[in-house]
Amino acid sequence: MQPPTCSSGCLARKYRLINGNCNNRNNTKWGASNTALIRWLAPDYEDGFSQPKGWNSEHTYRGFKLPLVREVTNKILRTANKTEMAEDNLYSHILVEWGQYIDHDFAFTPQSTSQAAFQGGADCKLICQNLNPCFPIKVPESDPRSRINECITFYRSSPSCGAADQGTDLETLSILNSRQQINAVTSFIDASTVYGSTSIQERKLRDYASKEGLLRMNTKYKDGEHELLPFVEQEPSSCAQEPNATQNERVECFLAGESRANEVLTLASMHTLWLREHNRLAKTLHKINPHWNSETIYHEARKIIGALHQIITMRDYIPKIFGSQAFDRFIGKYKGYDETVNPTLSNVFMTAAFRFGHATITPRIQRLDENYKEHPTYPSINLHETFFSPWRIIREGGLDPLLRGLLAKPAKRQVSNQIMIEELTEKLFALTNGVALDLASLNLQRGRDHGLPGYNDWREFCELERLETKDNLRKAISDLEFVEKIMDLYGHPDNLDIWLGGLAEDFLPGARIGPLFACLIGKQMKALREGDRFWWENPGLFTSAQQQELTRHSLSRVICDNTAIAEVPLDAFRIGPYPQNFVHCDQVPGLGLQAWQENPPKVGSCGPPPEIENGVLVLCTSCGQSVISYRCHHGFHLLGPEELTCSIGGWSSDPPVCTDINECEDATSPACHSSASCVNIKGSYRCSCSDSSLLSEDGHSCIGQRKKTNPAHQYSTDDRNNHE
**711 and 583 in a common domain:** no
Please check whether residue 26 lies inside any domain of the structure: no
Same-domain pairing of 589 and 678: no
Same domain, 670 and 578: no
Cβ–Cβ under 8 Å, residues 228 and 279: no
The CATH number covering residue 685 comes to: 2.10.25.10
Q: Which residues contact 552 (CB under 8 A, 6 or more apart)?
A: 589, 590, 591, 592
Q: Which residues contact 674 (CB under 8 A, 6 or more apart)?
A: none
Residue 645 is predicted with a pLDDT of 87
Nearest one of 222, 241, 271 to 397, comparing CA atoms: 222
As a whole number of angstroms, the distance between CA 652 and CA 650 comes to 6
Number of separate domains in the chain: 2
pLDDT confidence of 238, banded at 50, 70, 90? Answer: confident
pLDDT of residue 3: 80
Q: Please tell me whether residues 553 and 689 are part of one structural domain.
A: no
> Based on the domain organization, do 682 and 592 belong to the same domain?
no
Note the pLDDT tens digit of each residue in 63-74. 999 999 999 999
CA separation for the pair 556, 570 (Å, rounded): 6
Convert 536-552 to b/e letters by CB count within 10 Å (16 or more is b): bbeeebbeeebbebbee
Q: Is residue 645 part of a domain?
A: no
Same domain? 255 vs 348: yes
Residues labelled as active-site residues: 104
Domain boundary among 579, 596, 613: 596
What is the end-to-end Cα distance of the chain in Å, rounded?
A: 26
| pLDDT at residue 669 in the model | 78
Q: Which of 45, 54, 57 is nearest to 166 (CA)?
A: 45
Tens digits of per-residue pLDDT, 426-474?
A: 888 766 666 788 999 999 999 999 999 999 999 999 999 999 999 999 9
Give the end of a domain, one of 540, 571, 596.
596
Q: Is 676 found in the same domain as 591?
A: no
User: Which of 576, 596, 616 finishes a domain?
Assistant: 596
Structural domain includes residue 638: no
In a domain, 588, yes or no: yes
Q: Is the pLDDT of residue 337 over 50?
A: yes
What angle, rounded to 10 degrees, do the helices at 265-288 and 555-562 form?
Answer: 80
User: What range defines the domain where residue 677 resides?
Assistant: 664-716
User: Are residues 343 and 234 both part of a single domain?
Assistant: yes
Is the same domain home to 299 and 209? yes
Residue 362 and residue 419: Cα distance in Å, rounded?
11
Asked if residue 387 belongs to a domain, the reply is no
Examine the domain organization and report whether 535 and 682 are in the same domain: no
| Local confidence band at 541 (pLDDT 50, 70, 90 cut-offs) | very high
Q: For position 259, which CATH number holds?
A: 1.10.640.10
Sorting pLDDT into bands at 50, 70 and 90, what band is 707? very low
Does 198 fall in a domain? yes
Rounded to whole angstroms, how far apart are CA atoms 412 and 501? 19
Q: Is residue 201 part of a domain?
A: yes
- Give a yes or no: residue 695 inside a domain: yes
Is residue 692 located within the same domain as residue 544?
Answer: no
Question: How far is the CA of 201 from the CAs of 3, 106, 288, in angstroms?
Answer: 21, 15, 29
Mark 485-511 as b/e (b = at least 16 C-beta within 10 Å).
bbbebbbbbbbbbbbbbbbbbebbeeb
Asked if residue 540 has pLDDT above 80, the reply is yes
Q: What is the phi/psi pair of residue 468, to 5°? A: -110, 5
Considering the domain architecture, whether residues 689 and 545 belong to the same structural domain is answered as: no
**pLDDT tens digits along 343-354:** 999 999 999 999
